[in-house]
Structure 1
Amino acid sequence: MSKAGMMNTVAVGIAVQSDWENRQFSSSLSLNVRRLFEFLLQFESATRSKLAVLNEKLSVLERKLEFLEAQFSTAVNPS
């Protein structure tokens, strides 16, 4: 094989290696973006659930407070 042919083969080998590394990087990046997206979906779902529970507890406390305020109001001003 001539020196030019060997250099061409080396250049092709380097190009193939570079292409392989780029594909690995792209694949890794894609996988990590997918994992991040799945985490965010799970986080959003869990957060919505926890906020719904807190909202219900707050509503119960507000109703109890209104009830106590009404009882206190009638106890202080029994008209």
Structure 2
Amino acid sequence: MIIKTIRAHFTASVFEPIDKIDLKDGTDVILSIIINEPEKSEDLWAVLDKYTGIIEGPPDWSSEHDHYIHGTSKKGQLNKE
């Protein structure tokens, strides 16, 4: 089995190669389709809305973010010393 990757354009049930393809006429092939769609750009609020309520974290995550991100001592521990 030989694997070749080419780009193609699909029109009216026909794949038209964009890249040069070096095959003999009558060669049987198997096509794997990867649709190359442009990425949809989401604004920040859409991204935040998508993840709201699904990310788990410790209950003190917002007040102790320096501890969880940078490894500093917890603020609550500093007050007890």
Which TM-score bucket, shorter chain as reference? Answer: under 0.3
Structure with greater helix share of residues:
1
Bigger relative CO (Cα 8 Å, ≥ 6 apart): 2
TM-score, structure 2 normalization: 0.19
Give the greater-gyration-radius structure (CA). Answer: 1
Structure with greater strand share of residues:
2
